[in-house]
Structure 1
């Protein structure tokens, strides 16, 4: 006979006057939080919200991530954010059960290893096109560079060579759409969503600019469908769907999903690139190791170390320092009864900073990932289980390729100040000073003459 599950009412409860301390769990230094005195599980019940279980018990975490049928990512986002208004409820992240599994199968191939290799030229070309315009020898806000790199790569990888009559219109429409999402007006609307029970007020500028992006994409889809074989032989994501076995959506749905991929990767890519630059500036010994591998011509060693740098940066500065699920029905997780509608919050950064999983967890040490890949049970930057981020492998490869192309031509000057902190009063982890660094030319010694050459 199974033991009776524990009710949330019988777990430690965070008092309302201490709700402000929750920020301790999503900012570096989580293990100094007084909330840890409550144990690995505790409950809060803010007025007007569903009950919330916050847990970093790893058995809880594994069960929540692996339970595809009883928990929803989409319902959590709908309740606490405006993601459904931005992405559309028909997109992958909001689907459940068999619908989610079917869509994931259709959209997975362009993110698999064979396809990822084909995107490298696009990524390198974006760096080579934009790098000459970056200031050298004076401070630069690398987060802003990251946004430029992100949009350049994503437009190239997702849409490829768009017909000239649509290329500028598409880029302009996408930038205006991002502008609406990042505007103060939409931020105000978003902040109201949790208080309105998950309802996001209409925001006309977002709707019109979203429609403008879709209109250009649909034009491009129509033109490609008219080509023999849908333009087969092209390597961009859109062409990998058109007139293939993956092409099971009408043009409106396909355009919406391409737009969703674009948005899902845009900000997360930029912020990650910013943190990598800040980490390299703040850790001269790591930059020196990269320099040595570049100067020796050890391409394989350089890629391996860059992969480790990317993984370690994402461990210490995951763009989303927490994730969660909402219960679709009454369910039991590791002996705890989770009622329908309740929310389970999983503090990713707290797990990443735990000495139970990582020796010297607050130290930036890429070498910990040189001999083994990140452990999917304790390295949770992209989540885990059936709803793990579809673009995880793409993001890791992209960061390595972009920084290899950058560092082959530039060095990052060490900083003497403390590592740049994340922004305050922001649920994500974004560099407070936009990843302010200084780039220097890379000086190499040519093999033939011994003379110094500058890249």
Structure 2
């Protein structure tokens, strides 16, 4: 197999794993510069990874038959957190069925009904942001996106259960900060011990709370717009409902896929805005939402928090871009490399929202949410959150840098600002926006 794969670094697997983990963006960019848009990496405990960043290759991968490439099997390292029934981990027929059940809950129109709740939670969070002193926004944005998911997705009302789940889920998410958490061998060997043992106890406590919540909601469903309500009402083609275990796994999937990713995207947005006063002024004066959309597109291009679209495990020998990959290989679609390719984006490391004002992002050249039949179900949810937070913040604050540009660091499968998006906020001299104003501004252009 080794002889058939594209060239790549010959350094020990431990060295490659450390580079991939500790410098997730710079390391792969260096490999691209040396080996081109197609190269092979070897990481501890993993099959060979072939990293692809040519849009033509991406198109072939996104449109390949589902039985040939398995993204679900390629993402098995997430199973301890999201569960075996997660739509992320399923392939072929089971994936399509689960996706069909979930799609109505994440439809754009359904998401718009949650705007009022999101706006209220955003207003509350922004009210607490300090001005005139350095502040790390990443942690505050994590708290906000977690609260939005607990309220809008899990359907939790304020009270003791919300507090308990917030604490337990925060602990579960912090588990992914260690590279050991992503190694299947370590997960098996250390099960029940130390940090793994605490994680397993937290996960069991979350399960108890969620199953009790489902029982209560079935007895008294009420009139609710949250995602849990939609999943409880979903039925298969034969009329059967989703099982509790499936709903639990999809709720945790929404948490993992939508909490850290959106918080980090917003943190990167503020970190970039702090160095672009002209962008801030255009955002504050934006009346039709076009510049806000272009700014979000540019943030997600320049800092895709999921630097690799769902890894695909090759199940049958497959030819992509004229190169044949044997079964057992994992194909990585490198969003971070596509988005900084100078052949696609002039001055690729410059923050220029204007590049998207008159040109929509390309299907195979802008992939922060993946693509094809595996495109992220929660994309509309994440984009709505970003519109809401950035529009409200632009009305309230100007953002100023307090240090050099931040390096990226890895947190589980995502990348985040290395210094937590450390900025200084100043109050903008205008009336603060109201929730009603924010909601009116969030209509997608």
* 1:197 CA drift (Å): 9.2
Q: Answer yes or no: is 1:187 the counterpart of 2:181.
A: no
Distance (Å, rounded) in 1 between the aligned partners of 2:170 and 2:31:
38
Equivalent of 1:240, from 230, 251, 254? Answer: 230
Pair 1:170-2:156 in alignment? no
* Offset at residue 426 of structure 1 (A): 8.2
In the alignment, the residues of structure 1 paired with residue 107 and residue 413 of structure 2 have an alpha-carbon distance, to the nearest angstrom, of 30
Gaps of 5+ in 2: 433-445
Matched, 1:372 2:352: no
**3-state SS, counterpart of residue 242 of structure 1:** helix
Contact 1:308 1:370 in 2 (8 A): yes
How far apart, CA to CA, are the structure 1 residues paired with 2:142 and 2:35?
39
- Distance change in 2, residues 1:416/1:239 (3 Å): closer
Cα drift, residue 171 of structure 1: 3.1
CA distance in 2, matches of 1:443, 1:41: 50
Q: Report 1:62-211 matches (<5 A).
A: 62-67=59-64, 68-78=66-76, 81=77, 83-160=78-155, 162=157, 167-183=159-175, 187=178, 189-190=180-181, 192-193=183-184, 196=185, 201-202=190-191, 203-211=196-204
Q: Which has the larger radius of gyration?
A: 1
Change in Cα spacing, 1:175 to 1:445, as seen in structure 2 (3 Å) is: closer
SS of residue in 1 equivalent to 2:397: strand
CA contact under 8 A between 1:189 and 1:200: conserved in structure 2?
no
* Change in CA separation of 1:142 and 1:389 when aligned onto 2, cut-off 3 Å: same
Give the corresponding residue for 1:50.
Answer: 47
Structure 1 residues 198 and 346, CA, compared in 2 at 3 Å: closer, same or farther?
farther
Contact in 2 for aligned 1:282/1:416 (Cα 8 Å): no
Whole-angstrom distance in 2 between the partners of 1:214 and 1:425: 23
Q: 2:389: which partner in 1?
A: 402
Q: Tell me, what secondary structure is at the counterpart of 2:376?
A: coil
Comparing 238-247 and 22-31, the one that deviates more: 22-31
The 5 A counterparts of 1:273-284 are 273-284=266-277
Q: C-alpha offsets along residues 339-371 of structure 1, whole Å, 9 cap, x if unaligned?
A: 111111222111101122112222111112223
- Which residue of 2 is the match for residue 14 of structure 1? 8
Runs of 4+ in 1 over 6 A off after TM superposition: 424-427
Aligned to 1:249: 242
2:415 to 429, 435, 455: 429
Corresponding position of 1:263: 256
More displaced, 17-26 or 316-325? 17-26
Q: Decide whether the 8 Å contact of 1:60 with 1:333 is kept in 2.
A: yes
Change (3 A) 1:169 1:12: closer
Residue 216 of structure 2 is aligned with which of 196, 215, 223?
223
Q: Distance in 2 between the 1:129 and 1:425 partners?
A: 26
The alpha carbon displacement at 1:30 in A equals 6.4
In structure 1, stretches of 5+ residues that fail to align are 1-6, 447-455
By how many angstroms is 1:395 displaced? 0.9
> Alpha-carbon deviation of 1:26?
4.0
Could you tell me how far apart the structure 2 residues matched to 1:149 and 1:54 are? 34
Shift of 1:224: 2.1
- 3-state SS of paired residue (1:155): helix
1:29: Cα distance to partner?
9.3
Q: Is the 8 A contact 1:28 1:349 kept in 2?
A: no
Counterpart in 2 of 1:41? Answer: 38
CA contact (8 A) 1:140 1:437 kept: yes
Q: For the residues of structure 1 that align with 2:368 and 2:84, how far apart are their CA atoms?
A: 24
Task: Select which of 369, 382, 403 maps to 2:369.
Answer: 382
Q: 1:376 to 1:89 in 2, by over 3 A?
A: same
Sort the Cα spacing of 1:51 and 1:287 in 2 relative to 1 into closer, same or farther, 3 A. same
CA distance in 1, matches of 2:224, 2:96: 27
Q: Secondary structure at the match of 2:423?
A: strand
Count of residue correspondences? 419
Secondary structure of 1:17's aligned partner: coil
1 CA distance for matches of 2:333 and 2:23? 10
Deviation at 1:28, TM superposition (A): 5.3
> What is the SS of the residue equivalent to 2:259?
helix
Could you tell me how far 1:242 is from its partner in structure 2? 2.8
Q: Equivalent residue for 2:443?
A: none
Going from structure 1 to structure 2, the CA distance change for 1:183 and 1:116 (only over 3 Å counts) comes to closer
RMSD of Structure 2 on Structure 1 (CA):
2.9
Q: CA contact under 8 A between 1:137 and 1:439: conserved in structure 2? A: yes
